[in-house]
Amino acid sequence: MKQKIDTSLNINLWDLHVFRTFADNSNLTVSSSQLGVTQSAVSQSIARLERLFGVALIDRSCRPLRLTQAGEILKKGGNGVLQNVRRMIDEVRAAETVDLPILRLGLIDTFATTIGPDIMKFLGGRIEHLQMWSGITPTLSADLLSRKVDIIVSGDAMTAEPELTRECLLQEPLIAVVPKSQADIFKSMTMSEMCEALPLVRFSARSDLGQKVEYFLEQRRLAPRRTMEFDASEAVLRMISNGLGWTIATPLCLLHAHSSTMDLVALPLPTSRTYRRIYLIHRRNELVSVMPDVIDIFRRSIANTIVPRITDMFPWADLMAGQALNDVASHSTA
């Protein structure tokens, strides 16, 4: 007896990917730009899906365009299908070889310069083409969501994105950094006195650290003079070294900027401890063949490179790293 052909299996994965991209922004121009195809090609892919399912997926009478109820259902279900296909591809490749053709990493600057070489060395044997970008957290987060990178290390856990998986790698305290000539005076000051003594050289509010410092100050109703603001840790610390102000930073910032050559001193903040956490984030159910090794490599690099150096420079800094930290973080971000 001849088996009846299931026409639903004729679905084209590329068409489904195109529809999923359009469903995220409801804009043909934006979708075609992201996919690198023409608007006509996007429309044709959506039309093929509509013919296959026999229903309208887009309400074309509305401006801007919006999904129909059937389109919303396909958006939700199609995302799961695409994730499963990507996972299957990873698993099939892993069965044949341990190598991946390409892996794209995005790291905050403080990580890229401190353990970036270790990561490149350890992963180089498994990845044919390894790419690494550095930048500030908002840029890295956007790159991960737009699939420009596969993995990021940043200060934002991105808990609002359920399609992502995160591992907490490091917890470090906020600290005061002051000119060496003023260190003895600052040691006995309250936070309020610090804010009045010298201008606060700020990290840019575009960065995760800059936002965290601003929140820290607002919670304590402190308003230090606003004079200078920088993206880069080294630029901030050079201002401090030249006596132009003080700042609130983290031990990793000082390690990244080679602060041992500068005329500055790091001090514990004269208030309750506040911490910054650093996360490794990737898309759920993707790169399943390499992610355990990638996470392990980052943890070992932190334990062998960052923690000993910071502990040696700042023995009073309360660092936490490793699986124990991830267990704590998973409860606090749940």
Structural domains of the chain, with CATH? 9-91 (1.10.10.10), 104-166+278-301+320-332 (3.40.190.10), 175-272 (3.40.190.10)
The token pair at 298 is 């980052």
Give pLDDT tens digits for 149-174: 999 999 999 999 999 999 999 999 99
pLDDT band at 334 (very low <50, low <70, confident <90, very high): very low
- Tell whether the model's pLDDT for residue 328 goes beyond 50: no
Rg of the chain (C-alpha set): 25
Does the pTM surpass 0.85? The reply is no
Give pLDDT tens digits for 194-252: 999 999 999 998 888 999 999 999 999 998 887 899 988 889 999 999 999 999 999 99
Distances 99 to 86, 132, 281, 299, 325 between C-alpha atoms, Å: 16, 17, 21, 21, 30
Q: Which stretches of 44-138 are assigned E, i.e. beta strand?
A: 58-59, 66-67, 100-108, 127-135
Phi, psi of 302 (to 5 degrees): -65, -45
The burial of 146, by beta-carbon neighbours within 10 Å (0-12 exposed, 13-18 middle, 19 or more buried), is given as: exposed
Residue pair 184/309 in contact by the 8 Å Cβ criterion: no
Q: Give residue 100's pLDDT.
A: 65
- B/e letters for 102-136, b = 16+ CB within 10 Å, e = fewer, are ebbbbbbbbbbbbbbebbeebbeebbeeeebebbb
